[in-house]
Amino acid sequence: QQVLDVHNYYRSLHQVPPLRWDANLAKSAQAWADVIGPRCSRDHSPDTKIGENIALYQTQPSPDFKCAPAVGSWYGEISDYNFNTSQPADVNAHLELGHFTQVVWRSTSIVGCGLATGNRFEYQGDFRFRIGCLSVVCRYMDAGNLVSNAQYLYNGESRAWGR
């Protein structure tokens, strides 16, 4: 529930409708987290019909938090978004803002998330260190980030995304 509440808090700041939790998307997100988590990866799934945000946290010892903090880090991309343009897709396309825009994308109505842990090893000289990791996957329908100025303007960029 917390990850849904955090998504909807950020969406409310942009006057876009709240998301609903979807068990099938959560199952799908968990399945992908189970693939990438053990190998400490941020690889996106090959399924391009759904929206997807992925976060990877690496710590020593292993991270122990849940999905909700990832939503705040995705939303944090807002600081790089150029709101002062009538061509938001063209102006912002080269920046890494897709996590933020997916969180607040107006056409998106459902979300589901999953997480998995893993380990990787680093070497310093003769010493081997275990690094714990946590992969967080959230999946969205309808998918956001349709890269056209018209889509960005419709999905909230103008008044709704303004600060």
- The ranges assigned to domains in the chain are 2-157
Of 82, 65, 74, nearest in space to 132 by CA = 65
| Structure confidence at residue 158 (pLDDT) | 43
How many angstroms separate the CA atoms of 100 and 49, rounded?
18
Task: Classify 2-157 by CATH class.
Answer: alpha beta
Return all residues near 92 (Cβ < 8 A) that are at least 6 apart: 81, 82, 85, 152
- pTM score, two decimals? 0.85
> For 118-147, how does the pLDDT look when each residue is reduced to its tens digit (9 = 90+)?
988 878 888 887 788 889 999 999 988 766
Confidence check: pLDDT of 56 > 60 = yes
> For 4-21, how does the pLDDT look when each residue is reduced to its tens digit (9 = 90+)?
999 999 999 988 999 999
